């Protein structure tokens, strides 16, 4: 099944290309019957990973017929705006783009992304972790090759817990108790921080609780449920800690926040596993002080975790080189060599089944975490991710008005549940404006 034709019948290097393709197929477990054309193609790749050229060079070495032009057009929403502009204009976009999971539905549902099961990516669901594949799969179509992900874990300052003689919490109840004990033992220490603008915190919390704050049916019917039992459970829990003065208001990633983390003012950080990169990168002086534990659960015996962050490589529907683009995305994120480069050159947490079955990877002792075999905890979290969380096609908007509503409640130490209500109202207003039929669940 050859979808692209090789018009000038160039056959010189066909054997080489076929051999390479065979290798690639074996490595990725790809079952595509596409014969890669040996005609030189150039694809454009938009990403904001700073050192990606190293990985791209390795790809080009293995694929002499494909040249990859890397362009950094901005991080997150900046890139998405440019992609949206290109989609509106009908051309001008990249062939492959880096996209966080929360942004994919908006582009997938409006037809901006290529269905990779039609362009050589049939193997994706077998190659990658099921919990991650579910973030790029809509119906039978797959709109991205998973690149990295953020299984939820809890990083904590072992020195603070030891000094205060406090047990490391495994449930949220224990976490609240630990919050009191830690702060009582050391008035400068807080169990964690709350950020009025950080929408990822409730995303992660609601995901773990199995909440469905937004559900879209038939493509146009939106049901909002930010007053569900689960949503209120999360809201009231944090209202209580916040009002008791057991949390610190801070902005994650700011200089001040890193200072608080480094100084031992913040005792835990519940975050995607990638948090380790931030800690090692910005707080090298803290080596040996931090440890990782599973994300706390609501009830003793629960195992469900949630995720925070992570990206896929998507192929644009307007690309005229979708096969080459898919081949590139599959190699970078799924081949043994590509995955090794993601891990070692990019510092990312790969998402293939193969790598998470590899003892050398899972059992590696992480010096920064005092020699803990941290990836075992990551792997467990990856397996235990609660299934069923979904994103809307207008997630950036939902995130942007969080600070206007819930953020106010956090800063003013008022009811976060009330903040959720205000948040829901803003989302409903917006969705109606966008043509959705909105129902507020009761």
Partner 1 sequence: MTAPTALVDVAASTRRRRPSAKLRASRIAYAFLLPFIVVFTLTIVVPLGYALVISFFKKQLIGGTVFVGIDNYVRALGDTLLHDGVLRVLLFFVVQVPIMLLIAVLAALAIDSGRLAGSRIVRIGLFLPYAVPAVVAALMWGYIFGGRFGLAGQVFGFFGVPAPDFLGPGLMLGSVGNIVTWSFVGYNMLIFYAALRSIPEEVYEAAAIDGAGEFRKAWSIKLPALRPALTLALIFSVIGSLQLFNEPSILQALRPSVITTNYTPNLYAYSLSFMGGQTNYAAAIAVLLGGLTVVIAYVVQLGVARRDRFV
Residues that bind partner 1 (CB under 8 A): 77, 81, 84, 106, 110, 195-198, 219-220, 251, 254-256, 259, 393-394, 396-397, 399-401, 403-404, 407-408, 410-411, 430, 433-436
| CB nearer to partner 1: pick between 76 and 210 | 76
| CB nearer to partner 1: pick between 61 and 433 | 433
| CB nearer to partner 1: pick between 197 and 370 | 197
Please report how close the Cβ of residue 407 comes to partner 1 at its closest, in angstroms: 4
What is the rounded CA–CA span in Å between residue 394 and residue 399? 9
| CB nearer to partner 1: pick between 353 and 408 | 408
Please report how close the Cβ of residue 286 comes to partner 1 at its closest, in angstroms: 17
DSSP of 244-268, one letter per residue?
TT-EEE--TTSHHHHHHHHHTSB-E
| CB nearer to partner 1: pick between 30 and 410 | 410
| CB nearer to partner 1: pick between 10 and 422 | 422
Please report how close the Cβ of residue 420 comes to partner 1 at its closest, in angstroms: 15
State how far the alpha carbon of 152 is from the alpha carbons of 62, 138, 149, 276, in Å: 35, 23, 9, 12
What is the rounded CA–CA span in Å between residue 322 and residue 185? 59
State how far the alpha carbon of 292 is from the alpha carbons of 194, 208, 280, 289, 316, in Å: 20, 18, 13, 10, 38
Reduced to 3 states, what is the DSSP secondary structure of residue 91? coil
CB atoms within 10 A of CB 354: 17
| CB nearer to partner 1: pick between 243 and 434 | 434
| CB nearer to partner 1: pick between 127 and 392 | 392
| CB nearer to partner 1: pick between 237 and 397 | 397
DSSP of 128-185, one letter per residue?
B-HHHHTTTEETTEE--EEEEEEEEEEEEEHHHHHHHT-PPPSBHHHHHHHHHHHHHH
Contacts of 87 (CB under 8 A, 6+ apart): 93, 107, 110, 112, 316, 318
Please report how close the Cβ of residue 15 comes to partner 1 at its closest, in angstroms: 49
Please report how close the Cβ of residue 318 comes to partner 1 at its closest, in angstroms: 17
**Exposed/middle/buried for residue 330 (C-beta within 10 Å: 0-12, 13-18, 19+):** buried
Place of tokens 């269905």: 115
What is the rounded CA–CA span in Å between residue 196 and residue 189? 20
| CB nearer to partner 1: pick between 109 and 164 | 109
Please report how close the Cβ of residue 53 comes to partner 1 at its closest, in angstroms: 27
Please report how close the Cβ of residue 76 comes to partner 1 at its closest, in angstroms: 11
What is the rounded CA–CA span in Å between residue 185 and residue 183? 5
What is the rounded CA–CA span in Å between residue 346 and residue 339? 10
Please report how close the Cβ of residue 104 comes to partner 1 at its closest, in angstroms: 15
Please report how close the Cβ of residue 436 comes to partner 1 at its closest, in angstroms: 6
Say if CB 185 and CB 163 are below 8 A apart: yes
Say if CB 56 and CB 44 are below 8 A apart: no
Say if CB 334 and CB 127 are below 8 A apart: yes
Please report how close the Cβ of residue 293 comes to partner 1 at its closest, in angstroms: 28
């Amino acid at each position: 099944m050859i979808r692209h034709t090789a018009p000038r019948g160039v056959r010189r290097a066909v054997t080489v290309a076929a051999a390479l393709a065979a290798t690639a197929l074996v490595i990725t477990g790809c079952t595509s019957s596409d014969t890669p054309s040996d005609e030189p193609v150039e694809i454009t790749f938009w990403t904001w990973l700073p050192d990606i050229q190293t990985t791209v060079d390795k790809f080009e070495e293995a694929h002499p017929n494909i040249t990859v032009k890397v362009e950094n057009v901005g991080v997150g929403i900046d890139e998405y705006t440019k992609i949206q502009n290109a989609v509106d204009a009908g051309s001008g976009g990249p062939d492959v783009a880096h996209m966080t999971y929360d942004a994919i539905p908006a582009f997938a549902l409006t037809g901006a992304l290529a269905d990779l099961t039609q362009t050589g990516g049939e193997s994706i669901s077998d190659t990658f972790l099921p919990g991650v594949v579910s973030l790029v799969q809509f119906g039978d179509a797959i709109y991205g090759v998973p690149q990295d992900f953020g299984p939820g874990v809890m990083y904590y300052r072992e020195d603070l817990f030891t000094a205060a003689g406090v047990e490391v919490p495994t449930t949220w109840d224990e976490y609240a108790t630990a919050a009191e004990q830690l702060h009582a033992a050391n008035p400068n220490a807080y169990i964690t921080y709350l950020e009025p603008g950080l929408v990822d915190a409730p995303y992660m919390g609601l995901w773990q609780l199995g909440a469905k704050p937004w559900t879209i049916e038939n493509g146009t019917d939106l049901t909002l449920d930010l007053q569900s039992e689960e949503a209120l459970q999360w809201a009231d829990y944090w209202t209580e800690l916040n009002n008791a003065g057991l949390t610190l208001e801070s902005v994650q990633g700011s200089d001040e926040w890193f200072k608080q983390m480094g100084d031992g003012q913040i005792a835990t950080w519940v975050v995607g596993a990638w948090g380790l990169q931030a800690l090692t990168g910005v707080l090298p002086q803290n080596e040996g002080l931090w440890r990782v534990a599973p994300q706390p659960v609501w009830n003793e015996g629960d195992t469900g975790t949630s995720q925070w962050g992570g990206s896929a490589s998507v192929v644009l529907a307007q690309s005229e080189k979708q096969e080459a683009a898919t081949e590139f995305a599959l190699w970078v994120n799924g081949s043994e060599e590509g995955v090794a480069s993601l891990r070692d050159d990019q510092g990312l947490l790969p998402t293939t089944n193969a790598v998470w079955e590899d003892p050398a990877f899972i059992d590696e002792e992480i010096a920064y975490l005092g020699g803990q075999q941290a990836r075992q905890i990551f792997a467990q979290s990856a397996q235990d991710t609660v299934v069923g969380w979904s994103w809307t096609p207008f997630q950036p908007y939902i995130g942007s008005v969080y600070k206007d509503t819930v953020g106010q409640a956090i800063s003013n130490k008022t009811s976060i549940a009330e903040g959720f209500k205000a948040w829901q109202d803003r989302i409903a207003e917006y969705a109606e404006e966008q043509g959705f039929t909105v129902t507020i669940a009761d």
